[in-house]
Amino acid sequence: MRHAASLVWPLGVGAVCLVAPRSGLAQAPGAARTAASPAPPAAAPAIVEFAIPTPGAFPHDPAVDASGLVWYTDQANSRIGRLDPATGTFTDQPTPSPHAGPHGITVGPDGTIWYTGNANGTIGRLDPRSGTIREYPLPATMRDPHTPLLVAGYLWFTVQGGDVIGRLDPASGEARVIPVPTPRAHPYGLALAPDGSLWVALFGTNKLAHLTVPEGALTEVSLPEAAARPRRLVVDERGVVWYTDYARGYLGSYDPATRRFREWPTPTSSSAPYGIALGPDGRIWFHEVTAGDVVAFDPRDGSMARVPIPTRGAIVRNMAVDRERGRIWLALSGTGRLGRIDVPPRERAVRP
């Protein structure tokens, strides 16, 4: 079979189906096409689904705590849910504000659960021991908090419609606004880098943003293609940023050390790639919205393995990784389910 090739920009700018790259890929000005080194691709496992018993459940984002419990936001019912994978038991509870529309969710180092109230401009903190939730109201400039991460004692979060990054001090409840220079940038996905800094996908434009922590200094990095729209992203152990280009149907990477971009066409044309994760096996996992499949990309050789979602009609907006147990968790929006992919770890991948 053929393996997917990448485009490289120089400095300054269930069942498994192995797939070949799309043909007819347009090459950007100044870009060089590089061939993938041959290597046998790893097999992709199947997806196991867990049906959420709450009627009308709309899981948006998942998160995994240290004990392997899976937490998720039920945006439609304004509830925070939990799955115990060992027993298959679900529990959930309503947010204090009945129409908070919880969106993103993350687990802090101390095990507390944080979520963004996307519909009412709040941040929620859930104590898993007592089950109590505290809400932090945000300024009007942060009316739709999106994706959260607890880093260096602060809760950082993107604000898509407000075009800002937020930083909440849990001790005082004070929220700082960090403006994004590009108008209508729509800050979306948020990821932690190994050096403790943060990367943001600016979904409204062809840019990524880099944030230093804890001061919050922000710089923008432009993607080579003007039509690119990065939506979600992850950062690997070497600091390379991987992102889904939702508008163009590509998986992209950016190495801050060399300032080099690379990209690979997704298996399906106009696939609208969305949720993304760095698997314990070293592969980059992402969801093709239009095809309804999860794809595993191997940076060693550029090969892609397609994994169908059993119940069709789901959109994977975000994923969570349980490295200790070798699992990737999916929030299956639209079908009221969570999905689990068992991914055994492997030896360290070769840097792309």
Q: What's the pLDDT tens digit per position in 196-241?
A: 999 999 999 999 999 999 999 999 999 999 999 999 999 999 999 9
pTM: 0.88
Question: Do the domain assignments include residue 208?
Answer: no
pLDDT tens across 118-134, in order? Answer: 999 999 999 999 999 99
Residue 156 counted as domain residue: no
- Residue 326: what pLDDT? 96
C-alpha 251/C-alpha 298 separation (Å) is 12
pLDDT band at 345 (very low <50, low <70, confident <90, very high): confident
Residue 328: give the domain boundaries. 6-142+237-342
| SS3 category, 115 | strand
pLDDT band at 5; cut points 50, 70, 90: very low
- Does residue 19 surpass a pLDDT of 60? no
End-to-end CA distance of the chain: 20
Query: In whole angstroms, what is the distance from residue 165 CA to residue 162 CA?
Result: 9
> What is the rounded average pLDDT for all residues in the chain?
89
Contact 266, 288 (CB under 8 A): yes
Query: Is 289 part of any domain?
Result: yes
- Which of 164, 155, 163, 159 shows the shortest CA–CA distance to 214? 155
222 lies in a domain? no
Q: How many CB atoms lie within 10 A of CB 53?
A: 12
| 250 in any annotated domain | yes
Residue 215: inside a domain? no
Q: Could you tell me the CATH number of the domain that includes residue 131? A: 2.120.10
Q: What percent of the chain has pLDDT over 90?
A: 85
| C-beta neighbour count of 171 within 10 angstroms | 8
In a domain, 31, yes or no: yes
Q: What are the CA-CA distances from residue 275 to residues 95, 110, 113 (Å)? A: 25, 26, 20
Instruction: Report the number of distinct structural domains present in the chain.
Output: 1
Whether residue 344 is predicted with pLDDT greater than 90 in this model: the reply is no
Q: Are 122 and 167 in contact (CB under 8 A)?
A: no
**Residue at 126 is within a domain:** yes
Q: Has residue 8 got a pLDDT over 80?
A: no
